Chains A and B, each alone.
Chain A
Amino acid sequence: MLLYAIRKLAYGFLIIITVACTVSSIIYLSPVDPARLSFGQLSDAGTVEAKRKALGLDQPLPVQLLYYLRDLSPVVVIDKNNPILESYSGVMFSMSSTKTFVIKWPYLRESFQSGRPVAEILKEAIPLTMILAFCSILLASLLGIILGILSAVRHGTWIEQVAMVVSTIGYSLPSYATAIFFAIVFAYLLQPLTGLHLTGSLLEVNDQGDWIIEWKNLILPVVALGLRPVSIITQLTRSAMLDNMMMPYVRTARAKGLSSTVITYLHVLKNAMNPIITGISGWFASLITGAFFVENVFNYRGLGVITVKALLDFDIPVVLGAVIFTCVMFVVINILVDLLYSVTDPRIKYS
């Protein structure tokens, strides 16, 4: 089990390194010159050349790539008088008179457009996306499990048919379509009744210029993002419950004289939870990318809005940081889901 986890982790690490290499090399190869980009039209050749030197763009491509990986890695050995040391945030250990050993956070460089560190930009955006994804998965699992239990208990009736039709439609609705639909209905047509805003982020600036938390702005994105997981979890719960209801232990329990409520909620539901939990945790990862669209609809300043804006502006470090962060999230969640299988179902053993 531990060995399996270590092997999976090593493999995930390899994937992240490969992704970082590929993405950075491909993006640095593209025809746009970031040095020109950060000044615009009002610059002379000397300034651009100096900026190129500062960004390390005058170096050959493999060297640039190695520099990026050096900034990214948490452990590094470099010269004491290297100016990049000022940007690292971590602990330094002196090794010799010239070399120093640094344990640091991954340094994602600075944005070409605003000049701010990418880590700072991401630090503002990631919590917003996380809150959005977490709230919607919470909503989805609550609603989905209730609907799934209902349709499994009322198997063969109109309740089940309605739930199945609704969940099938909900599954094939892309999240941005749902988001626009909700935006039009609840924030435009029914605006006087609901009082919701068409666009807005969780953190907003009020008239006095202070940052305030607007919980109201979270409602529509959460519902729009959660609709697809609701349908998945409904179907998962229903099929898991129905599978378990066919098992011999249910017949035994019924023969023992237990009431059907106890059988359904204490025996069947407990055994059916296993695939549901793994399904929910697997969907959490894809919700983060699903949030890209919903955020763009509601202009909710999370990871998605920042990435798409950076892509349109060709702000390479921000795109790289967001892509690498998303990949790390995906890899970590996938490993956790794999391990969760064996925790929830003791019959599964990894060797």
Chain B
Amino acid sequence: MKTTKLKKKTGSVRLWWIIISAYILLKCLINPQPVVSIGNSGLRLGLFNFSNDISDPINNDILTIQPLWKVSAYKTHLGKDSTLPPLKWDSLGNFHLMGTDHLGRDVFAGFICGLEIAVLIGLFVAVFTCLVSLILGVIGAYFERFPLHISRPEKVLWIIFAFISPLMLGWSILGAMTFIGWIWYLILFVGLVLIFRKVFRTKNRILPIDTFNRRFQEFFQPLPDLVILLVVLAIFDKISFIGLILILIILRLPAGAWFLQGRAQQIVHLPHIDQVSTMGVSVWRIMGLHIMPLLKSYSVVFMSLTASRAILSESALSFLGIGPTGEWMSWGSMIRLGLNNMNMWWVALFPIIGLVGLSLLFRFWYKD
């Protein structure tokens, strides 16, 4: 008798869980604060207890357990303890694993902050880009296989819609168009489509949904990423964390939608799609349950590449001094600091190592 062997869960998945839980445990040991706390400056992501000076309100509480390993804050500490090389204790008894910079700030604290920001940006951008481009790609591939037949005037209407919508999106970003305006616009468009469907009955044209992704990609492909980022930063002057993530998603979206549509087009021509569509399964069910699961491996590859690229883009912007500004520390700005003060090689070295390591990690993530 043949026995079917159950597929074992690979060790690497378990390894990831071990790494994540060890990280959280370490954080809880060192820092009695919750993992992510909402402070008065928005979302605070300080995971280690970076403060050891008494003036800091977090540590002033008697009920707070004192941290096991005193990690000095990424805070200015002028005096003779500044510019310490790695693996040194300062006069307050803090251990500086990666040394301090010229203002006495602990590089390790900055390194950890930068790590969290980089991981967050990489994961957010990768996951959301992948989700949206998966939806766009599958819709494109499906309607390439089973085209929607429409009348000629309706097609003209769709083309006008496709040209006007990006313009209106631009207006709404610049504040010239409100949310109510969008609702009116959409009501007008849907109403016109419904009227056209009632009036014009001869359906001799195809709605070219599959070409949308292609044109999208053809437009964005020759434009360098960096130039688009520079222009966007020039407009908004000061960019937020969420804004940067949104821009990076929009930048990576065309390539992702085109790549996944190409893969989905192969799947759409498989026999099981024909079978389910003749059985009368609904469109959304076919897309969600019969096409998307088969794209899992491709999406993982795409996500890993996107994550490493997003990290490099963010640090590049911070390096040029035009990245997001706020409460956090980015590896790019630490590298910039190290460039301006060459005698402190450790300030630039550790973020560079971290950047390369993290982007390599994300790049080989899909090999699990």
A binds B: yes
> Are B335 and A176 within 8 A (Cβ)?
yes
The interface residues of chain B lying within 8 Å CB-to-CB of A30 are 234-235, 237
For residue B191, give the distance in angstroms from its CB to the closest CB of chain A.
Answer: 29
> Are A326 and B224 within 8 A (Cβ)?
yes
In angstroms, Cα B169 to Cα A22, docked, is 13
Q: A26-B235, A169-B360, A180-B339 are in contact. Are A174 and B315 (CB under 8 A)?
A: yes
Q: List 20 extra interface pairs beyond A311-B234, A334-B222, CB under 8 A.
A: A11-B218, A19-B223, A26-B170, A30-B237, A168-B360, A169-B356, A169-B360, A172-B308, A172-B312, A173-B352, A180-B338, A180-B352, A183-B342, A184-B342, A289-B226, A292-B320, A293-B320, A319-B234, A327-B222, A334-B221
A117 at the interface (CB under 8 A from B): no
> Are A308 and B227 within 8 A (Cβ)?
no
The interface residues of chain B lying within 8 Å CB-to-CB of A289 are 224-227
For residue A184, give the distance in angstroms from its CB to the closest CB of chain B.
Answer: 6
Shortest beta-carbon contacts, A-B, top 6: A172-B359, A177-B352, A289-B224, A330-B222, A289-B226, A331-B222
> Are B345 and A184 within 8 A (Cβ)?
yes
- Classify chain B: how many residues form its interface, as a range: 35 or more
A-B contacts, 14 of them at CB < 8 A, read A12-B222, A15-B219, A19-B223, A169-B356, A172-B360, A173-B356, A177-B352, A183-B339, A184-B342, A307-B230, A308-B230, A314-B234, A330-B222, A330-B224
- The 0/1 profile, CB within 8 Å of A marked 1, for residues 200-242 of chain B is 0000000000000000001101111111001101110100000
In angstroms, Cα B223 to Cα A174, docked, is 19
A29 contacts which of B174, B219, B223, B315 (Cβ < 8 Å)?
B174
Interface residues of B (CB under 8 A from A): 170, 174, 218-219, 221-227, 230-231, 233-235, 237, 308, 312, 315-316, 319-322, 335, 338-339, 342, 345, 348, 352, 355-356, 359-360, 363
The interface residues of chain A lying within 8 Å CB-to-CB of B237 are 30, 32
For residue B214, give the distance in angstroms from its CB to the closest CB of chain A.
Answer: 12
A323 contacts which of B230, B316, B355 (Cβ < 8 Å)?
B230
Interface residues of B: mostly helix, strand, loop or mixed?
helix
In angstroms, Cα B358 to Cα A172, docked, is 9
A122 at the interface (CB under 8 A from B): no
List CB contacts (< 8 Å) of A307-330 with chain B. 307-308, 311-312, 314, 319, 323, 326-327, 330
The interface residues of chain A lying within 8 Å CB-to-CB of B348 are 180, 184
A297 at the interface (CB under 8 A from B): yes
The interface residues of chain A lying within 8 Å CB-to-CB of B316 are 174, 176, 293
Q: B236's closest neighbor in chain A, by CB?
A: A30
> Are A330 and B352 within 8 A (Cβ)?
no
A296 at the interface (CB under 8 A from B): yes
> Are B342 and A323 within 8 A (Cβ)?
no
The interface residues of chain A lying within 8 Å CB-to-CB of B225 are 289
A23 contacts which of B224, B231, B308 (Cβ < 8 Å)?
B231
Q: A332's closest neighbor in chain B, by CB?
A: B222
A277 at the interface (CB under 8 A from B): no
The interface residues of chain A lying within 8 Å CB-to-CB of B312 are 172, 174
- Classify chain A: how many residues form its interface, as a range: 35 or more
Q: B175's closest neighbor in chain A, by CB?
A: A29
In angstroms, Cα B233 to Cα A184, docked, is 30
Q: A169-B360, A319-B230, A327-B222 are in contact. Are A180 and B335 (CB under 8 A)?
A: yes
A311 contacts which of B224, B233, B339, B363 (Cβ < 8 Å)?
B233
For residue B230, give the distance in angstroms from its CB to the closest CB of chain A.
Answer: 6
> Are B223 and A330 within 8 A (Cβ)?
yes
Q: A11-B218, A29-B174, A323-B231 are in contact. Are A297 and B339 (CB under 8 A)?
A: yes
A27 contacts which of B235, B342, B363 (Cβ < 8 Å)?
B235
Q: Of A11, A19, A177, A188, which is in contact with the most chain B CB atoms at under 10 Å from its CB?
A: A177
The interface residues of chain B lying within 8 Å CB-to-CB of A311 are 230, 233-234, 322
For residue B363, give the distance in angstroms from its CB to the closest CB of chain A.
Answer: 6
A18 at the interface (CB under 8 A from B): yes
For residue B284, give the distance in angstroms from its CB to the closest CB of chain A.
Answer: 34
The interface residues of chain A lying within 8 Å CB-to-CB of B322 are 308, 311-312
A87 at the interface (CB under 8 A from B): no
> Are A172 and B227 within 8 A (Cβ)?
no
In angstroms, Cα B276 to Cα A266, docked, is 54
The interface residues of chain B lying within 8 Å CB-to-CB of A350 are none
In angstroms, Cα B312 to Cα A288, docked, is 17
For residue A27, give the distance in angstroms from its CB to the closest CB of chain B.
Answer: 6
In angstroms, Cα B235 to Cα A292, docked, is 19
In angstroms, Cα B345 to Cα A184, docked, is 7
A203 at the interface (CB under 8 A from B): no
- The 0/1 profile, CB within 8 Å of B marked 1, for residues 158-180 of chain A is 00000000001100111011001
Q: Of B225, B234, B348, which is in contact with the most chain A CB atoms at under 10 Å from its CB?
A: B234
The interface residues of chain B lying within 8 Å CB-to-CB of A288 are 224
Q: B322's closest neighbor in chain A, by CB?
A: A311
The interface residues of chain A lying within 8 Å CB-to-CB of B174 are 26, 29
